[in-house]
Amino acid sequence: MHIDLSRKTALVTGSSAGIGFSIARGLAGAGAEVVVNGRSEGTVAAAVDKIREEFPDAVVRAAVADVSTEEGADRVVESAGDVDVLVNNLGIFGATPALEITDDDWRRYFEVNVLAAVRLTRLLLPAMIERGWGRVLNIASDSAVVIAEEMIHYGTSKTALLAASRGFAKAAAGTGVTVNSVIAGPTHTGGVEDFVYQLVDRSLPWEQAQREFMRANRPQSLLQRLIEPEEIANMVVYLASPLASATTGGAVRVDGGYVDSILP
């Protein structure tokens, strides 16, 4: 199976590190022109340089702005130009006891995890429809369907993202544009390492801490390990390609069997 995204431009939000970086890297490797986004000029530039170093022929550009704000989203859209593939990866997460999550916390999680994706989709989807081809991919989470007590604000925001994805897929029905969400399972990133150490003994070496976290907090995982970001990126690159033309309105799982369901 050969995936060719040459002559396609992909915008990946929150892509200076973690899953977003792996997605940007994967899309560049498939031939797409990639726009790397983040809030820090230094980290975005470093991510761009790293991808260019690995793929010297790739066209990789920077778009520095906070897309969880209207002004930031407008700047990124203007900088990116015509976007064929939009990957709404930006997200925040953290552990807070359910009864201690404040109104401000709820608003912040909705702004960053839901409204940023909705806003960019609203800005970019019409042109995709007009051109008759496009891909919108929203990076969701197993927490959207298996709500963890210590992070119900995060889980609820990702549930909302699944609903928004399905709705926008209906808005694009029959146009050649697909809209899907990717349900990512527990994934190994720097941010997740910090999260793991919120829940297990910080004195434990990482490999032991990871195993303890999965045993105590994610025992239903069939993979029984954290997923690597590249494994999420592989699915995103496929869904962004012409090969996935019949997949739309879906919530595609890359969760290591974490969600106890036989349906996607």
Active-site option among 154, 197, 238, 258:
154
Based on the residue annotation, tell me whether 197 is a catalytic residue of this protein: no
d(CA 186, CA 91): 14
Judging by beta carbons within 10 Å of its beta carbon (0-12, 13-18, 19+), is residue 71 exposed, middle or buried?
exposed
What is the distance between the alpha carbons of residues 170 and 168, in angstroms, rounded to a whole number? 5
Identity of the residue numbered 21: F
* Cα-Cα end-to-end distance for the chain: 22
Structure tokens at 49: 């340089």
Whole-angstrom distance, CA of residue 38 vs CA of residue 198: 25
Which residues are annotated as catalytic?
Answer: 154
